[in-house]
Amino acid sequence: MNISVFLGAPGSGKGTQAKKLAQSYGYVHFSTGDMLRAAIQAGSEVGLQAKGFIDRGDLVPDGVMISIIESALAGLSKDARVLLDGFPRTVPQAQALDSKNHTAVTRALFFKIPEPILITRLTGRRTCRKCGESFHVIFLPPKTQGICDRCGGELFQRTDDMEEVVVRRLEVFKGQNERLMDYFRNRRCLFEVDADRPVDEVQGSLLRMLS
Ligand code: AMP
């Protein structure tokens, strides 16, 4: 299996890029954030376990996350090309992937972006309740206010995109990121992409790094 992981702060564009790459180039995309939100909506046990952590902006415990991603990967064929967006977020999560040969990380791509931009991006983000598509009140407004361009679903602000929670999420990210980067640097598979550019330009750089 060929596994690329997208690293970077919340709001750095990992999800937007991974979704586009999956739609246009046949990558299998797993977003652990989306998986957790689906579990919460379904009222499953994992969802119940995760909700409090997500609403506070904290990380869901490693054990829960590792078993979610292991079962997602277990169903894939050996020649699948996979993009993991939002996983790993800690060194133990990275080690868990690497501990099994068929899920070892091929590349880690770090989305580099200045912090003040992240706050504006996250607090202005609006998400479709139905299909999960993201919009932005200033940078990417929907054609009709409050309505998703893609599926007509209702747009809402995620609880964890409110300013107080955003600040906490960025703190949590900074607390883990250096160690995670060092881990992949030592593995010699870390690439950095300047994520403070238009979506198509970032995508071009990612495609070059992934090929
Ligand atoms: P995201 O949509 O990727 O920003 O994830 C939203 C929230 O889900 C995060 O703030 C965490 O609470 C939780 N989460 C997602 N992925 C992970 C992970 N790999 N490890 C721990 N918590 C996670």
Q: Which residue type sits at 88? A: P
List pLDDT tens digits, range 66-123. 999 999 999 899 899 999 999 999 999 999 999 987 889 999 999 999 999 999 999 9
86 alpha carbon to ligand 1 midpoint, in Å? Answer: 6
Conformational region of residue 152, where left means phi above 0, alpha means psi within -120 to 50, and beta covers everything else: left
Judge whether 105 and 181 are in contact, CB under 8 Å.
no
Q: From the alpha carbon of 36, which atom of ligand 1 is closest? A: 8
Show Cβ contacts of residue 25 under 8 Å, excluding neighbours closer than 6 positions. Answer: 207
In the predicted model, what is the mean pLDDT of the chain?
A: 95
- What pLDDT score was predicted for residue 132? 87
20 alpha carbon to ligand 1 midpoint, in Å? Answer: 20
| 193: β partners | 111
Query: Which is the catalytic residue, given 19, 89, 121, 126?
Result: 89
Residue 211 has pLDDT above 80, yes or no: yes
For residues 70 and 35, what is the distance between their CA atoms, to the nearest angstrom?
Answer: 13
Pocket of ligand 1 contains residue 69 by CB under 6 Å: no
The pLDDT-based confidence of 27 (bands split at 50, 70, 90) is very high
Residue 146 has pLDDT above 90, yes or no: yes
List pLDDT tens digits, range 161-174. 999 999 999 999 99
Choosing from 40, 60, 62, 169 the residue with most ligand 1 atoms within 8 A of its CB, the one to mutate for a pocket test is 60
To the query of whether residue 89 is one of the catalytic residues in this protein, the response is yes
% of the chain surpassing 70 pLDDT: 100
59 alpha carbon to ligand 1 midpoint, in Å? Answer: 6
| 147: β partners | 154
Half-sphere exposure of 206 (CA within 13 A, CB side): 30
Pocket of ligand 1 contains residue 60 by CB under 6 Å: yes
Pocket of ligand 1 contains residue 160 by CB under 6 Å: yes
